């Protein structure tokens, strides 16, 4: 855990952070609003105290209530991975600005997140489906997309059969409705 990085992030982006800076193992995590993504990532990329030159990963996450775009960055100024979570996109029409102006290589990762979660990356000039056929209508990695035949559809999706399911379940499939941890 890099305490100095935490202080730097807090002092630089103070009011932009929508949650506390979290640290665990070799990871530092910040949360920002989707609209702030270009400015925050540009600052992290360019400013000499951060120098996060490498976009290590870009992922979409469906938390059950909102959509997230998650960026993992690497820098030579710190021993930590920096995780930037753009949180709070609506599930009906998730939109976040693209980061292809910084990393052109993010284009396909954004296409993948669009294909799998339906997140629209505004400014990506090639945002079409990458894996699924062009006439495909749904987004497979969303949590309301159930597999045709698997444990997820069974009444005890995700828990052992001897255990009771206490959470909310889907009326049609009987599958447990899962939600991402709030913390």
User: In angstroms, rounded to a whole number, what is the distance separating the alpha carbons of residues 19 and 85?
Assistant: 10
- The answer to the question of residue 161 lying near other proteins (CB under 8 A) is no
**Considering the complex, what minimum distance in angstroms separates the CB of residue 145 from other proteins?**
8
Among 1, 10, 19, 158, binds other proteins (CB under 8 A): 158
- The answer to the question of residue 4 lying near other proteins (CB under 8 A) is no
Cα dihedral sign, 154-157-163-166: negative
- The answer to the question of residue 96 lying near other proteins (CB under 8 A) is no
Strands 27-32, 22-24: pairing kind: antiparallel
**Contact by Cβ (8 Å): 97, 110:** no
Run of H or E residues at 159:
none
Binding site for other proteins (CB under 8 A): 24-27, 29, 53-57, 59, 61-62, 70, 72, 74, 76, 79, 81, 83, 102-109, 112, 116, 125-135, 140-141, 145, 147, 150-152, 157-160, 178-181, 183
């Amino acid at each position: 855990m890099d305490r100095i990085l935490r202080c730097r992030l807090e002092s630089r982006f103070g009011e932009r952070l929508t949650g506390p800076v979290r640290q665990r193992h070799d990871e530092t995590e910040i949360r920002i609003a989707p609209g702030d993504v270009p400015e925050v990532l540009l600052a992290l990329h360019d400013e000499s105290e951060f120098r996060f030159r490498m976009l290590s990963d870009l992922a979409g996450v469906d938390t059950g209530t909102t959509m997230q775009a998650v960026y993992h960055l690497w820098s030579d100024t710190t021993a930590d991975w920096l995780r930037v979570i753009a949180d709070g996109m609506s599930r009906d029409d998730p939109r976040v600005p693209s980061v292809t102006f910084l990393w052109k290589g993010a284009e396909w990762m954004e296409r993948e997140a669009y294909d799998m979660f339906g997140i629209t990356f505004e400014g990506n000039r090639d945002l079409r489906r990458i894996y699924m056929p062009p006439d495909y209508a749904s987004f497979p990695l969303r949590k309301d997309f159930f597999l045709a035949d698997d444990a997820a559809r069974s009444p005890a999706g995700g828990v052992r059969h001897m255990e009771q399911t206490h959470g909310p379940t889907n009326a049609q499939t009987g599958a447990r409705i899962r939600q991402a941890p709030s913390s």
